[in-house]
Structure 1
Amino acid sequence: MRCVILSGGSAGGLDWLAGVIRRGDRVICVDRGADYAAKLGLLPDLIIGDMDSLDSQTLLDFSRRGAEIKTFPAEKDETDTTLALAEALAGQPDEVVILGALGTRFDHSLANVHLLRLAGDKGVPAKIINQFNEISLVTPGEPAILKGLPGETFSLLPLTAEVTGVNVTGARWPLRDAVFSIGNPYGISNEVAADRVEISITSGLLLLIKINERGEMNCR
């Protein structure tokens, strides 16, 4: 089972969103993310958050149609998307896809990227996607596989102070037993050289960002 979290940031065009969400996905809306669901004609499984940016009539309509509602106070330690991810992980999904997690609030965008570790600690693959970027986490153990076309761009950035044993094959600039450190972002703008890039690390946490400047990113 795949769980899609629809948060309230910039979510791209409705046609793009409709192409990403699959039939059978469990859909969790974060506060204003329910507005996107309404425009797409989707009935969320759960709407969660402090509801400070969601139209009350939209919330009432979804409640009457059977969507589960979990409301939290505005003053709390967790962000609404953190609460949504905790709910998603409690359902033991095979994968979590987070949409609407990036936008004009850089603090919220960065906080959402950090949430990938929460999923990684539970052993659940998770990614943040918008029309231009797909962000996932590489952890020690099983290599991460990036599929793409030759010439497509991807970047690697450390999420921990240091990442050791970085190996990259299938890329224009391969790496062997490299070390990445915060403050030295030399993993920017590598390129796919084959139909499959393999990335592995020995220790730390590494962000993998696949880029599509044409705005056609999807996760099908």
Structure 2
Amino acid sequence: MQLPDRGVGSDAVGRTVGLLTELYADVQPHGWRLVDRPGADHRRAVSALSSDVGVLADVIGEAGVPAGALKLQLLGPLSLAAAVSLHHGEKVLSDAGARRDLAESLADGAAGHLRHVQRATGSAPLSVVVEDGDSAGVLGGTIPTASGYQSLRALPRHEATGQWAGLVRGLRDAGAETVVLRPGTGFPSTRTTGGTT
């Protein structure tokens, strides 16, 4: 869920950055950028996410009934790589190693977040929606560089599908009842339920 009016860390990128494990980011004039250690922006994003899970658990507890199905949303690995920058200012999308690290960190962190929500809410059935709306631009080579004068090279399709598969697998292993992948225009949404992939 996004709450951008609440400030830094509550937009789609900030909420997803708050899930990352062993990677940290802060906000620069051009957006989120990876950094060596967690700063105020990263801590704010993590804290807001944790606080929201606590509030959700309180609301469910006060209702006095088991929670119904819950839906979690997060930004997909391609859109995140197109939105977050490296130390020198170019997007993570421009570096194969950084893309891999970001995708693995997201898969691990999203699975951990899912387990946290399950514990807090009494193991309610959970569905996860992965919003990867920039995937068409990432795969089509139309995402602009930091300067805006050129476009970043198109991501190989096999790399994209591998990142999606890793994320979905991690979420399913963590207990997601349903995972819905919503890529960009031109790609059908994919839904996995139960033991299917």
Higher helix share: 2
Is the structural similarity TM-score above 0.5?
Answer: no
TM-score by length of 1: 0.33
Find the structure with the greater CA-based Rg: 1
Alignment TM-score, normalising by the size of structure 2: 0.36
Higher strand share: 1
